[in-house]
Amino acid sequence: MKLIIISLILSLFQPVMSANLARELRMASEIVDAILDGDPEMLEVDGYEFLSIYTEAEEQAKGAVIIMHGRGFHPDWADAIQPLRVGLAESGWNTLSLQMPVLDKTAKYYDYEPVFPEAIPRIESAVRFLKEAGAKKIIIIAHSCGAHMAMEYVRQKGDDAFDAYVGIGMGATDYKQPMKQPFPLEKIAKPILDIYGSDDYPAVHRLAPKRLSQMKDAGNEKSKQVKIEDANHYFTDQGEPLLEVVSEWLDTL
C-alpha cells in the first residue's frame, strides 16, 4: 500500500511533455521573411500566437485547405508542404498551412504522443479563421506526424468541422515504438484520401491494408488510397506528383 501511495505521489511530479515554443518561435523568425507566396498569419490559442501561412486562390476559391506538416518541420517546408500550399492555391483553393507543435530535434514518436492533443486548439483556431474568411468547404491535409495529430483531433472532436481529409504518409513512428491505438478512420464519414510513397517507411506500408479496410468500413464511396511511385516518406523531389494526386481528387468532391 505504501508503495502505491509513493508511486502516485511521484507521478504528480513527472514532467509533462509539451511543445517547445521557443523552438517554434526560432523557426518562425527564420522563415517568415523568406515566404514568397502567401502571407504570414498569426493565429491564437489561449494567448499564445503561432505562425500560419495563408495563401489565397487567384480566382474565386473552391474552398479552403488546412495543411499540417510532419515532425519537427514548419508550414513552409520545401518537400511536401510548400508544393501543396502554393500549388493548391494556384488550383483554386485557399490554403492555410499551420505551425504544428514541435519538440527538440532528438524527440521520438513516443515523446510526441503526449503532445498530439495540443494540436486540437490550433486546428480549431484555423477552422475559425477560415470560416471568418468566408470558407464554405474546409479540407484537412496532414502529413506524417501531422496526420497523428489530425487523428487525435478526430478522436476527441469528430469530423463535423471539415468536409474531407487527406492523410499523407500515415502511420510513421520510430523503431520499436508502434502506435498504441489505431487511426479512427472508420469514424470519418467524410471522404478520405490516403496517400503514401512506394519508398515510404515500412510501418506506413504495413498499415496500408488496415487503413483501406477502415475507409471501406466508413462507407464513403469517394474515399481512395493512392501509392505514388518513386516517392519516399518526405516526397523529396516528388512535390508535383503529390500535388497532382491531391488536386485531382479534391476536384471530385
Q: For the segment 76-104, what is each residue's pLDDT rounded down to a tens digit?
A: 999 999 999 999 999 999 999 999 999 99
Query: What CATH number does residue 123 fall under?
Result: 3.40.50.1820
The reported pTM is: 0.92
Predicted pLDDT at 221: 97
SS3 149: helix
- How far apart CA 85 and CA 236 sit, in angstroms, is 16
Whose CA is closest to 39, among 94, 102, 100? 94
Q: Which domain holds residue 150?
A: 40-250
DSSP class per residue in 161-202: T-SEEEEESTT--BTTB--SS---GGG--S-EEEEEEEE--H
In this structure, is residue 126 part of a structural domain?
Answer: yes
Domain count of the fold of the chain: 1
Checking if the pLDDT of 146 tops 50, the result is yes
Q: Is 167 left (phi over 0), alpha (psi -120 to 50) or beta?
A: beta
Does 71 reside within a domain?
yes
In a domain, 32, yes or no: no
CA distance 252 to 212: 19
Domain assignment present for 210: yes
The string of pLDDT tens digits covering residues 35-67 is 999 999 999 999 999 999 999 998 899 999 999
Instruction: Assess if residue 13 is contained within a domain.
Output: no
Residue 47 lies in a domain: yes
